[in-house]
Each structure stands twice: as C-alpha cells, then as structure tokens.
Amino acid sequence: MTTLNQLTELGQAVWLDYIRRSFTRAGDLQALINQGVRGVTSNPAIFEQAIAGSDDYDEDIQRLAGENGSVNDIYEALAIEDIRQAADLLRPLYDRTDGRDGYVSLEVSPALAHDTAGTVADAKRLFVATDRANLMIKIPATPEGIPAIESVIAAGINVNVTLIFSLAQYEAAAWAYINGLEKLQKTGRSLGQTASVASFFISRVDTAVDAALEKIGRSDLQGTTAIDNARLAYTRFREIFAGDRWDRLADAGARVQRPLWASTGTKNPAYADTLYVDSLIGLDTVNTLPPATLKAFIDHGRVSLTIEKDVAGARSRIATLADIGISLETITRQLLDAGVAAFAVPFDNLMKSLEEKRDRLSGSGNA
C-alpha cells in the first residue's frame, strides 16, 4: 500500500496542485492516480507556467488564432481542454467514491475577486462550458466572494473556496456552503451531487508570522502558527458540521465541506519538506500538494492522525501572538490581499504572453 493510500485509509485525500497538457497526455497524471492521488487543483500561476512556459499549446494557439478568438477566448479554450482531460482521467474515481473525490478545480477570473455578481456569472458559465460533473469552480473567500459562493452552491455547482487564511474567513466559507445547500434543497434538487472544499492556506502564514517573530526575537514560536491556525480551523469544522441544522442537510444527502490544506510546499529550508503534510492529517480533509512536495511525501512522509494533536497548545500559542503585539488578523488580511494580487499578476502575464504567441504563430506580428 502506498503512503497516499495509507492517507486515504485515515480519511485524507491527496490532490495534485499542478496541471500541464504534456503531463496529462504522457500518462504522468494517470500514474499518480494509480498511486493514490485523488484530485487536481489549478490556478492562474500554474496555467501561466504551463502555457507561457512551454510549447505544448502552440499548435492549438495557432488554430484558435485562425478562428479569430480573443486572447481570453484562447486561454479559456486551452484551460478548459486541460481541465476536461484531467477530469476524464479522474472520472472513474469520482464514480467509485460517489462524488467524494475525483475533482479538478478551475478558477474564476482573478479580475472578479471583488465582484459578487460577476463571480456568480463566471462560475456558472465555466461550469457549463467545461461540461464535467467532477469540476469544482474556485472562488476566493473575499468579502465579495462569500455571497457568490452561497449563490453558486445554491445553483448546484461544486465550489473550491480558495485563499482562506483566517478562522473568520473559514467560518464564513463554511456557512456560505450550508446556506447554499439549504437554498438548493428548497428547489427540490438532490444535495448529494454538490460538493465543496474550503482551501485553507498554510505555509504563507508561517512566512509572514515568522518574519514578525524574527523582529522581536521570539524564535521559539517560529514555524508553529500555520499549523496551529489550521488545527483551530479543523476544530471549527467539526463544530459547524454537527448539530440539528447540519443533520437535516446530511439526512437529505449533503456531504461535509472538507477543509483542504493549500500552499503546503515548505518555503523555509530549515523546516522539513513534508512538515505541512505530516502535521495536518485527519478525517474528512484534503491536502493539495505541488509536485515536489508530493514526491517528497511519497518517499518519506509520515502517516498518522495528527490534525487534532495539541489543540490546547495551538490556542495558547495563537493567543500569545496577540500578547506580544503580533496581530494574526492583520497578517491574514494582508495575505488575502496579496493572494488576490498573486493570482491576478500571473493571469495578466499569461494574457500578454498568449497575445505574443498568437501574433507570432499566426504571422500577424510580422504584418
């Protein structure tokens, strides 16, 4: 049994945070699925690296340019084709698990992060255009994104809530899911075919908090905040998805919105390369790993239930941050703003790169 299958036995699914056409077509994704990978996530930065950083897509770019599509039309055609191919490889798993796993995530336009109506419209359009039941639409947990999540869930569309850094964001995302399911239930549609994950970002929290701790000489707390923050979120997950209100939805076929640990590649070389995997293993969770972290975990990851360890210590250490003048609320708010920008910039760069490729491959750049 592989380490990934051992995680599955403990109730955690590993998804791959990577997509690229040659990777999928060459059989590499299928090989990882065979080893126990149970889903795929993507984002604008991943698509920029794949499309702008390779010639995998040049033939299709040239063809699409001849159809007089806009740069955005070309991007969406390329991205949707990649998502469909990955979704088709994962469809047997989706069917076998009755929709628990086997998902591929595609993000709404980063330009819509603060546009509720635009996000809802884009999510619905992308879900229809992709035409795969095992697609999840990624929507950021911005103040404007939260009501959009509720509306999209109410429409019966799977949602990956992304860019969650704080407990307040997590709770808002969880309640948006529950509110959306209750609205969906009133339409008479089945609840069992609509799924969601709440992507809680990990390593970026440590990077920011560690820098603040370094300035005041509190190295004893470095490397603890991200894991503590996630463990407290998991505790809230257990509290929210319990009780009469949730039980009524569960009895109607609803499944919990699993916490998904994102940004789990270790950025500090002083920390173990599987720190944010080994420390966050628990029932009803997902961890999406970049290729290097996935490879490391398959090689030497440690498999045991860890997510509920030392929750009291986590509360104490988080409280200590406030006592020593470090506002986790301020830091996580800044991380959300930076996260939105971090997806917008590569998306803009990708549009520029696609425009250059389109013109070069179609010959219009020489006109």
Burial state string for 48-79 with b = 16 or more CB within 10 A and e = fewer than 16? bebbbeeebbeebbeebbeeebebeebbbbbb
* Residues in the chain, total: 367
44: left (phi over 0), alpha (psi -120 to 50) or beta: alpha
Radius of gyration of the chain (CA): 20
- Of residues 124, 138, 183, 309, which has the active-site annotation? 138
How far is CA 155 from each of CA 96, 120, 132, 173, 343, rounded to the nearest angstrom?
A: 24, 10, 15, 16, 26
For the question of residue 309 being annotated catalytic, the response is no
Contact 324, 218 (CB under 8 A): yes
How crowded is residue 357: how many other Cβ atoms within 10 Å of its Cβ?
Answer: 21
Contact 316, 43 (CB under 8 A): no
Q: Tell me which residue of 346, 356, 345 sits closest to 61, measured CA to CA.
A: 356
How far is CA 246 from each of CA 30, 174, 190, 260, rounded to the nearest angstrom?
A: 36, 11, 15, 20
Q: Tell me which residue of 261, 257, 259 sits closest to 241, measured CA to CA.
A: 257
Q: Which residues are catalytic?
A: 138
